Amino acid sequence: MTRTVVAQAYGGPEVLAIEDIELPAPGDGQVLVDVCAAGTNPIDFKLYSGAMGDDPAALPMPVGMEVAGVVAAVGPGAHGYTGPLSVGDEVIATNVRGGYSEQVVVAGGDVGHKPAGLSFEEAAGLILAGATAWHLLMKTDVGTGDTVLIHAAGGGVGLMAVQLAAARGARVIATASAARHDELRGYGAHPVAYGPGLADRVRAIGTVDAALDLVGTDEALDTSIELVADRARIATIAGFGRAGELGIAALTGADGGQEIRNAARPELIKLADEGRLEVTVDKVFSLGEAAEAHRYLQAGHTRGKVVLVP
């Protein structure tokens, strides 16, 4: 038996509870992973909120999509995207069903070897946020010589986007609260504060070629439209309600971008292995504190990743 966090109904974080479940042995192409840390992501609570469907047959719903841990068993033919998998390997796994758990069974093709320089807590926050940031930068064609405006740069995806954009040779202007400006400067970004006059503060730094919206506010969207001449170079992962009317890209991963995100996984691990990509962990909670972790995540003031540990 393994302890797993599930949503027992549709609703808010109060519906989360721990249940003991029986996991099957890994089948063909699968591995069993002892979970050391599980990354939390907004999609986790969107799924059990009912906003994306409320089929009662899906309850109780296991929660969590990415983990870092140690391979405990390997099924026939299992192979990771960074090489062969063996018992004892330290790994990162994504596309997990029920990652808030002590153990998970996952397809080998969704498993990569953990960078040695990352802790398990850091590694659990690398892939989904990193692949989302990678997708945004690919969609907006950010590269050497570009200036990119990144809204909500202090969160998990934002910090990844700042580092990846800089690694591509772009200049980064990053919106964030004042408390996060020093960290963003450390990654080579030019931080600016939210609020009235944002567009003018950005203009004072330079002309903007592309913009990434990670927060979905009218301020972020309107500022992006005002400053970026080519709307094909504006993308959002939050402002879905207005994206169509504004003519900008709304990225979900289910829009043909999943192949881009999957292809990013070994590249993200390589960059982290080389010390060129860091993961900032904001807070660590226990499995039993999953509801508290989600309340904190939903408040929208995280500085990096929120992680659960068994």
140 and 24 belong to one structural domain? no
Q: Is residue 220 part of a domain?
A: yes
Q: What is the CATH number of the domain that holds 192?
A: 3.40.50.720
The domain in which residue 57 lies consists of 2-126+279-309
Q: Which residues of the chain have pLDDT under 50?
A: none
What pLDDT, on the 0 to 100 scale, is given for residue 252?
80
User: CB under 8 Å to 150, separation ≥6 — which residues?
Assistant: 158, 161, 162, 165, 172, 173, 174, 175, 189, 211, 212, 214
- Hey, CA dihedral for 77, 79, 85, 91, is it positive or negative? negative
Q: Is residue 215 part of a domain?
A: yes
What pLDDT, on the 0 to 100 scale, is given for residue 302?
83
Q: Is residue 30 part of a domain?
A: yes
| pLDDT tens digits, 89-105 | 999 999 999 999 999 99
User: CB under 8 Å to 149, separation ≥6 — which residues?
Assistant: 173, 174, 175, 202, 208, 210, 211, 212, 223, 224, 227, 228
Q: What is the CATH number of the domain that holds 45?
A: 3.90.180.10
Q: Is residue 261 part of a domain?
A: no
Closest CA to 81 of 291, 295, 297, 269: 269
114 and 140 belong to one structural domain? no
114 and 141 belong to one structural domain? no
Q: Is residue 44 part of a domain?
A: yes
Q: How far apart are CA 136 and CA 121, in angstroms?
A: 24
| pLDDT tens digits, 133-171 | 999 999 999 999 999 999 999 999 999 999 999 999 999
6 and 113 belong to one structural domain? yes
Q: Is residue 41 part of a domain?
A: yes
DSSP H or E segment with residue 273: helix 258-273
Q: Is residue 256 part of a domain?
A: no
177 and 241 belong to one structural domain? yes
What pLDDT, on the 0 to 100 scale, is given for residue 257?
87
Q: Write down which residue in 209, 234, 250 finishes a domain.
A: 250
93 and 199 belong to one structural domain? no
138 and 106 belong to one structural domain? no
112 and 139 belong to one structural domain? no
Q: Is residue 183 part of a domain?
A: yes
40 and 140 belong to one structural domain? no
Domain count, the chain: 2
285 and 215 belong to one structural domain? no
148 and 133 belong to one structural domain? yes
Q: Write down which residue in 250, 270, 301 finishes a domain.
A: 250
116 and 156 belong to one structural domain? no
Cβ neighbour number for residue 259 with a 10 Å cutoff: 10
